[in-house]
Amino acid sequence: MHYFYYFADKEPPRIFNTISNVYGFIESNETQTIVNWIDPIVSDNSGFVTLTQDHYPGDVFNLGETIVTYKAIDSSYNVAIHTFIVHIEGT
């Protein structure tokens, strides 16, 4: 007799090296600027994780606030999310 065991992965990925909010300043005659940061690091107990994001380091940001979201998904569709805000202020 053979027995097969299936262990469900219920542990979400982990997102490391995250940053908090980012602040940028622009001159009064400008409306946007380039903002850079370091991407976070992800890991998962399954060994496979995909990281997506809606903005990238080096993107152009307009005056005001923009939410940046990183989403890590493993092979069992467990999800981890990290968000921060890019604040662009005029001088």
Look at residue 9 in the predicted model and tell me its pLDDT: 84
Look at residue 89 in the predicted model and tell me its pLDDT: 94
Look at residue 8 in the predicted model and tell me its pLDDT: 78
Look at residue 13 in the predicted model and tell me its pLDDT: 96
What is the set of domains in the chain, with CATH numbers? 14-90 (2.60.40)
pTM of model > 0.75: yes
pLDDT in tens, 13-34: 999 999 899 999 998 889 899 9
- Contacts (Cβ under 8 Å, ≥6 apart) of 44: 11, 12, 13, 14, 72, 74, 78
CA dihedral 36, 75, 80, 23 (to 10 degrees): 10
Structure tokens of 15? 């997102």
List, for the chain, all residue ranges whose pLDDT scores fall below the cut of 70: 5-6
